[in-house]
Amino acid sequence: MNERLKKTSTILLSCFAAISATTELADSDLQRVGQQLEHKIEASQLLENIDFMPDADRVTAYKHKGIAVENKDGKQLSLIKGDFGSIDHRLVKNGLLLATVDTKNQQALVTVFNKRTKEWTNLQRIPKTNFKIEGVCLYQDSVKNGFLFLIGEEGQGQQWLVADSANSLKQAKLIRNLSTPPNSEFCQVDDAASLLFVNEEKVGIWAYDAHAEADLVRNPVALAQPFGKIKSSALGMQLIPNGLLVIDEQAKDLQVYTEQAKQWSLKSVYSLAALNSPKNVSTLINKDKLDIAIQHDDGLVFYTLPWIEKATKSISIIPSVMPEVETDAVPSLGDAADDPAIWVNQQFPEQSRVLVTNKQGGLLVYDMVGKLKQSLPVGRINNVDIRTGFNFNHHPIDLAVASNRDNNTLQAFAIEPSTGEVSELGEIDTTLDDIYGLCMYKNTRGDIYTIVNDKDGRFIQYHMKVTKGQISADLVREFNVDTQPEGCVADLSLIHI
């Protein structure tokens, strides 16, 4: 057995051990309180109390009719006409953000019910995918950016940025393509924990990190037999405080899973034997109970379930600084944009420049509105820094130096102080074998130094100078650290690196 299979078996057996500890069935706790008979329901979600929609109870997508906001009695309060499938929603400052998929055109879209105008506004269609969209789910990060996950049945998916904290964006931005399980149709995101849950019908429920730059690694939540209690048809799911509800269509069960210390275990199972192929579930917290709506082939059935669990996740929110400007994209695919350095135009600050290393091709120069002004293809440079006031052949320039990984050299650039124009000065050999990080320092006498490091822990400090009209440098000292370094900065007040 190879290492990958051993690891997978260990994970599955661990999950099986946790799931085996199931509490007794308590069907009497699940109280049926109503129903809505309707064969053409595609999806439905209960709505929390919304001050600008006080009578709204749920939002429901109907085949060949549209998406309706309804009260508890099923009376229509608002309608978006069309053919729609999966839906999800979040509250934003300007109203109710709704995501869905236009099944006729096979295209996802987002819109906002504006709390001031009481109308659906800002309808934005996501560019068409090359796969059939089965499910959509929204995710709000810690600063309320709105992301949309698209789940395809053939194991394809995407993540889009579709909204800010107030409204949907004028133009959605593709964040990443995803490889999702085959036979997936349902998804949901725990915003506080940044976890994306996706079903794999014949296997179970998986959890992924929802962060835009996270690795695509999945962990099991609920699995089919013999590793779990699902009888091979895991469909819709709903997050609840410290838990997850899962529909097992074949068994006609509602399974309740709880989480403790990132481990999921089956707590209880409730029979849905009276329903015709249950598909999905939606809940609301109502004091010490859950209000539950279950979608099946004959419509919606409403239940209540005692639930005193409170969310115990302690999520540390890291303060975020929102950007004001974004540069044009780096003209290389993959991991390319790396280290920036800002050159300040002393006379006209608005004409300052941002120097950025393209790890796959050279130095890029952007203006203060993010437009690319120059591209200098000097090789695979990694870090860059700038110091002003360098005398080059009796001409004052500002000096930029980068670590060039192609040749293990210092790559020097001149910046014209009056215009910000960047030009190549040349390369300086080093004694390093695998050059990496770099920073610069200017002392009180005006001497400029470049400190560069190697992946093996060595640091070398060079005194920048001019020899016979060419840029050069003298090695002035060496030191090392025990582990791999990269970034560094000089503290001018303490004269420390």
Residue 9 has pLDDT above 70, yes or no: no
Asked whether residue 316 is assigned to any structural domain, the reply reads: no
pLDDT, tens digit (0-9, with 9 covering 90-100), for 464-473 = 999 999 999 9
* Averaged pLDDT of the chain: 90
pLDDT, tens digit (0-9, with 9 covering 90-100), for 471-486 = 999 999 999 999 999 8
Same domain, 291 and 371: no
Residue 22 has pLDDT above 90, yes or no: no
Same domain, 259 and 159: yes
Average pLDDT over residues 484-494: 88
Asked whether residue 220 is assigned to any structural domain, the reply reads: yes
pLDDT, tens digit (0-9, with 9 covering 90-100), for 230-281 = 987 899 999 999 899 999 998 999 999 998 888 899 999 999 999 999 999 9
Residue 435 has pLDDT above 80, yes or no: yes
Cα–Cα dist 408/112, whole Å:
53
Same domain, 90 and 184: yes
pLDDT, tens digit (0-9, with 9 covering 90-100), for 333-363 = 777 889 999 999 999 999 999 999 998 889 9
Same domain, 239 and 344: no
Average pLDDT over residues 431-442: 95
Rounded to two decimals, the pTM is 0.73
Average pLDDT over residues 378-405: 96
Average pLDDT over residues 308-335: 74
Same domain, 263 and 355: no
- Say which range, 44-53, 99-108, 303-312, 447-456, has the weakest mean pLDDT: 303-312
The fraction of the chain above a pLDDT of 90, given in percent, is 77
pLDDT band at 314 (very low <50, low <70, confident <90, very high): low
Average pLDDT over residues 433-450: 95
In which residue are the tokens 């506004």 written?
121
Locate 367 and state its tokens. 């203006």
| CATH number of the domain enclosing 107 | 2.120.10.30
Provide the domain limits for residue 365: 337-480
Same domain, 256 and 382: no
Average pLDDT over residues 15-41: 68
The structural domain count of the chain equals 2
pLDDT at 11: 43
Same domain, 428 and 370: yes
Asked whether residue 326 is assigned to any structural domain, the reply reads: no
Asked whether residue 92 is assigned to any structural domain, the reply reads: yes
**Cα 277 to Cα 39, 71, 230, distances in angstroms:** 12, 25, 15
pLDDT at 370: 95
pLDDT at 311: 62
Same domain, 235 and 342: no
Same domain, 302 and 376: no
pLDDT band at 13 (very low <50, low <70, confident <90, very high): very low
pLDDT, tens digit (0-9, with 9 covering 90-100), for 166-222 = 889 999 999 999 999 988 999 999 999 999 999 999 999 999 999 988 888 999 999
Same domain, 157 and 60: yes
Cα–Cα dist 417/435, whole Å:
29
Asked whether residue 409 is assigned to any structural domain, the reply reads: yes
pLDDT at 312: 59
pLDDT at 493: 83
Asked whether residue 40 is assigned to any structural domain, the reply reads: yes
pLDDT at 75: 95
Same domain, 352 and 447: yes
Cα–Cα dist 119/346, whole Å:
50
Same domain, 179 and 266: yes
Of 283, 306, 329, which residue sits at a domain end?
306
Of 258, 288, 306, which residue sits at a domain end?
306
pLDDT at 317: 60
Residue 383 has pLDDT above 90, yes or no: yes
Asked whether residue 488 is assigned to any structural domain, the reply reads: no
pLDDT at 7: 42
pLDDT, tens digit (0-9, with 9 covering 90-100), for 96-145 = 999 999 999 999 999 999 999 999 999 999 999 999 999 999 999 988 89
Asked whether residue 434 is assigned to any structural domain, the reply reads: yes
- Burial-class residue 183 by CB neighbours within 10 Å (0-12, 13-18, 19+): middle
Locate 100 and state its tokens. 């869905």
pLDDT at 358: 93
